[in-house]
Amino acid sequence: MRKTNLFIASAVAAALTMPFVSLAQGGPAPKPKFEAQKCYGVAKAGKNDCQTANSSCAGTSKRDSQGDAWIYMPAGACERLVGGSLQPKRA
């Protein structure tokens, strides 16, 4: 048994004996788990998650609330937004 290993093991043990107070605040917030729907017509320009009829990539819509650009939203939230639609609208 190597001396270093004993040193490491006792340091691990010592580190674990102190009470863990800050851990609750230290970690990342839990990832929200929600059912997502595509919501059309509410994305800010350039913030869409999809391709549209006239652009081919996410992040390329040209204006706010473009009717054929969608973003993911929690299920049920889209219908409650002004201009939100679960189907694409005329751009």
Partner 1 sequence: MPSLRDLERDVARALLGEADGAVLASILGDGLSPAARLGVYRNHVFSTLTDALEATYPVVCRLVDPRFFAYAVDRYIRACPPAGPCLFEYGESLPEFLAAFPPCRHLQYLPDVARLEWAINRALHAEDAEPLDPTRLRGLSPDGAARLALRLHPSASFLESRWPVDRVWRANQPGADPDGIVDLDAGGVRLEVRRLGDDVVFRSLAAATYAFRSALAAGGDLERAVEAAQAAGPEFDLTQTLRELLDDGLVVGSSAPRSRMGATDAN
Binding site for partner 1 (CB under 8 A): 1-2, 4-9, 11-16, 18, 20, 22-23, 26-31, 56-60
CB of 68 to partner 1, least distance (A): 17
CB of 41 to partner 1, least distance (A): 23
Q: State which residue, 11 or 36, has the beta carbon closest to partner 1.
A: 11
Do residues 59 and 46 lie in contact, with contact meaning Cβ atoms separated by under 8 Å?
yes
In the 3-class helix/strand/coil scheme, how is 36-77 assigned residue by residue? EEEEECCCCCCCCCCCECCECCCCCCCCCCCCCCEEEEECCC
CB of 48 to partner 1, least distance (A): 13
DSSP-derived 3-state class of residue 11: helix
